[in-house]
Amino acid sequence: MATVFKSVDESGKIPPPPAPAEDGYRPSADEPFMNERQLEYFRQKLLDWKDAILREAQGTISQLQSESLREADLADRASSETDWSIELRTRDRQRKLISKIESALRRIEEGEYGYCEVTGEPISLGRLEARPIATMTLEAQESHERNEKISRED
């Protein structure tokens, strides 16, 4: 029987970071950009996301150690192997994501968080809320992706 993993949504993508369970605070454009409260909000959001990923990874390790592929039926065995392959690919993507989360935490410590690495402009709070590891404004990211696509077509 196939195992279903909850760490990947229906599209096969890693779910977004969890919302911090703080006092309901959400950064607002009505306050100074990247003030102490906003920085702490995003720092906690990043830490919570990293912790959730590490807990899921530990669960995968535990499952791998406790379960073995003992299905007698070849179709069941193939299904299990496919499930594990997908799970391990997801864990690899999450390992790379942890690196990006740690980089974002370093940017917070260095006072660079929330600013585009290309233009130096502030990254919108909405974009940071949806993708707290963002390093570019939406416009800079779109331009980067267009240039990348052109390079690939050459």
Write down the pLDDT at residue 12: 54
Q: What is the CATH number of domain 36-113?
A: 1.20.120.910
Residue 119 pLDDT > 60, yes or no? yes
For 34-70, give the secondary structure using H, E and C.
Answer: CCHHHHHHHHHHHHHHHHHHHHHHHHHHHHHHHCCCC
pLDDT at 1: 37
pTM of the model: 0.73
- Judge contact between 27 and 38, C-beta under 8 A: yes
Question: What's the whole-number mean pLDDT along residues 55-81?
Answer: 73
Using CA atoms, how far apart are residues 119 and 128, in angstroms rounded to an integer? Answer: 16
CA distances from 3 to 37, 60, 92 (A): 42, 12, 19
- Among candidate residues 133, 136, 140, the one with its CA nearest the CA of residue 94: 133
pLDDT number for residue 66: 65
More confident residue, 13 or 4: 13
Say whether pLDDT at 14 is over 70: no
Average pLDDT over every residue of 55-73:
71
Q: How many helices (H) and strands (E) does the chain have?
A: 4, 0
Distance from C-alpha of 14 to C-alpha of 107, rounded to nearest angstrom: 23
